Each structure stands twice: as C-alpha cells, then as structure tokens.
Amino acid sequence: MSMIIRRILTVLLTLTVLAGGLSMTTAALAEEMTEEDSAELAAAEGDDTEDIVVADPNAIYHEKTLADFTVDSPAIYRGRISDVIGEYSIYSDKSIKSTRVVRGLKNTPVDILYVGLVWVIVRYDGKIGYVKREYLTKEFEAVDPVNTAPFQVQKHQYIATVAKECYVRKTMTKEPLEEKNYKSYWVKLNPGTQISIWQFQDGWAIVNYMRSYGYIDPNDLKDLIPVSPTDTPISKESPIAAYTSYYTMKHLLPGASKETKTNNLNRIWNIGHGAEKITRTGLLQPGDVFNGNKRNIGPYREYKLAIGLVDGRAVLSSGGGTCQVSSTLYNTISQLPGLTIVKRRPHGYGGASYLPIHCDAAVGNDSLNLIFRNDYDFPIQLVGKSSGDGALLMMAYRAD
C-alpha cells in the first residue's frame, strides 16, 4: 500500500459538500417537438453542459437522482427560475429532450432539494424534477443557513502534489493511457504540480474538471495534506480553504493553428502571472480589502493578449485568462464565512465553462471586479499556484 493511500485511510474529515458527479442517463425524446420545445432547445444552443458521454458510465461518480427524493423531501434552498430568455421547464430526466414535468415557468420560486454540477433537483406545485443550473437565478436562500453552506460552495478536502506524470481521467479505470488518446482523459499533469481534491472514492482522487469530474490514481500523488473543515487549521501546513480549476491545453492538440497556439500559451502565461500576483499581494490583515482590478490582479497592461470572455463572447483582450484566476479564487474564499464579498459579477447567463454555473467572478473593468473584505480577527494569506500544465490552485491560510 502506497504512502498516499495510507494517509488517506488515516486522515478522516467530515465535510458537507453540495455538488455531486454526473449521471449519464439520458431519456429518449418522449413527445413531439412543439414551437415552445424548439424555442427552449434553441436557447440552449451552444450550451455544452449536457451530460458528457464516457466509455464506461458505471466508472464515474454519480450524483443523486429523482429516485433518491419524494415530493415530501426537505428542501435545502429556496430559489427562483429565471426569466432571462422566456419560459422554462422542469424535466423528468437530465436532458432538455426528456418529458416535461412542468412547463411554462418564468420568474417562479422553487424548492431546491439537491444541487449537482449541471442539474438541480427542484420541487414546484407538488412535483419534482430536474432544472439546469443556468435556468435558475443566482439568488438562493438556505433553509437552514446555520448548517448549510452557500449554494455555490463545494469544499475541497485535500491538497496534494503530483509525484509523476499523471492523467486526470474521464473514468475510474486504470487501463494504460496513451498521450494522444484524448478521449480517455481530460489533461496530463506534470510532476510538482499542486492541486486540490474534492474527495476520495473507490481508490480514486476525485477532482472538479470544468462542469464534470476527473479521476486521479492516488499512487500518482504525494504530500497529501487535509484542508481544515473549519477556520482553525488542522496543522501549520493545512489551508483553511482550497479550490482547483482546470484550463485547456489547446496548443497541444493535433492540427492546432499558429494563432490558437499563441493565444492559448498567452492565456496560460496570464493565469500563472495572476496566480503569482495574488500570492505576492494576498496577505489580508483584519479589515483589509482585496480589489482584483486595482491591485491584486490588475492592472491588465502587465498581461499578454489572449482569449477572454466579454459579455459572454470569447474575444481577444489584454489579460485574457485573469477571469479564471479571479473565479477560482472566488470559489476558494466562498468557503470562508469571515471573508465578505463586496462586489462580484459572473460572466453572464451561461457563465464561464471552466466552472459550474453561478460559480465564476469576472474582472477587467469598472462593472466587472472581485472585491472582498477580511472580516476575521486574524490575517489571511492567499496563495495561487499554476505550473502551466492545465491546473490552477488557489488556497487560503490563516496567517497569525
């Protein structure tokens, strides 16, 4: 048994997490397409958040399904279906082609029973079903705020270091992988890269990969350190919050154009520079304010031209990639109730694809900024890490 597995067995943490993995069931088209159906389907065009098909759907982490709930199940949040693009439906399965349980909803309050990365289980008018996360507004109210974390929070339980070249796989299967077989893995990480881990299951380290999950063989990791479940560190090495997002390595794909290679390499450089700057400027004494645009990430003339999201569109801009830095940091600090969000805006209706819906925080101009204040009675040190191989880690430590 490897050292990393022995440490997993000896470190026991009880954490409340809100998001599950992906269920790969997809219902067949159960009814003829009406004009209303076509309009809703068109609104989802370009939306890549449908469940991803993998070679072995049994070898993934499955989130809860409708079978785990009844109409009498307790709600964990109160939410509201949006009215951004018209009327929405509640579905019988995790597909907008499945049967509609309820249709014609607009600016409608619902009870939220379960939150997944892509789909949410809701109750309305005595019926339960699935709604896509982007169909909900970003305002949620916890039924029991004392014992329930904010809607978007997913607490990662460990940080670790990559011991040797390893793959973030799409399934929990240990067959040998070839680097050019991109269909079987998300990204390849290099030795020395630090990441956070959501949890361990069936001998695998489970990580968030964009709007899905990835799986790492624990034998490819070393230096496993638990993240403290509270604001009191377990040890001097333990952060009190951590989160990793992943970015694409498009420049390595066969047939990538010179322009694609340049833009993606610039974006990766920007992510690394932003992470380093947060580490340099991220010591927050009690009462200190983090301001992404002013000091802690910007000014953006320091960065290279790269693809970034502006009004929901991918455009070439100075500092492309820095929104992933701010968004990953947002997912870290959201785990800490003593850090008060002063200003934060997502990228728009669909959000940034490298994180679940409602979990991004855009920066770059007067209306797009991440600002928060340290309301703890102790200092916080923010630390960012990116080795240029696809992973961006943000951590928060007590600095007293």
Q: Are residues 135 and 163 in the same domain?
A: no
Same domain, 217 and 134: no
Q: What pairs with residue 323 in β-bridges?
A: none
Domain co-membership, 101 together with 184: no
Residue 109 covered by a domain: yes
If asked whether residues 184 and 252 sit together in one domain, one would say yes
Looking at residue 27, what is its pLDDT?
30
In a domain, 8, yes or no: no
Residues 268 and 127 in one domain: no
CATH number, domain of 82, equals 2.30.30.40
Nearest Cα to Cα of residue 362 among 329, 327, 398: 327
Same domain, 314 and 348: yes
Looking at the fold, whether 124 and 208 belong to one and the same domain comes out as no
7 within domain boundaries: no
Same domain, 137 and 247: no
Residue 275 lies in a domain: yes
Quote the pLDDT of residue 180: 72
Amino acid at position 81, single letter: I
**Is there a single domain that holds both residue 338 and residue 196?**
yes
Residue 22 lies in a domain: no
CA within 13 Å, CB half, 219:
4
Are 113 and 214 members of one domain? no
Cα separation values, 212 from 54, 61, 102, 149, 219, Å: 11, 10, 27, 21, 22
The sheet carrying 100-105 orders its strands as 100-105, 88-91, 127-132, 119-124, 108-115, 77-81, 141-142
Is residue 190 a part of any domain in this protein? yes
28 belongs to a structural domain: no
The token pair that represents 215 in the structure block: 């799986």
Averaged over successive runs of 10 residues, the pLDDT of the chain (400 residues) comes to 47 36 30 42 41 66 96 96 90 96 95 95 98 89 90 93 95 83 89 98 96 96 97 95 95 84 94 97 98 94 85 78 96 96 86 88 92 98 97 97
| pLDDT for the residue 210 | 94
Secondary structure of residue 279 in the 3-state scheme: helix
- CA proximity to 241, closest of 250, 230, 255, 252: 230
If asked whether residues 334 and 207 sit together in one domain, one would say yes
pLDDT at 366 (0 to 100) = 85
pLDDT tens digits, residue range 159-216? 999 999 999 999 999 888 877 777 889 999 999 999 999 999 999 999 999 999 999 9
- Count the domains in the chain: 2
pTM of the model: 0.84
CA angle 70, 199, 385 (to 5 degrees): 130
Structural domain span for residue 162? 158-398
What stretch of H or E contains 10? helix 3-10
- Backbone φ and ψ of 127, nearest 5°: -125, 150
Same domain flag for 180 and 290: yes
11, 200 contact by CB (below 8 A): no
Last residue of a domain, one of 142, 167, 190: 142
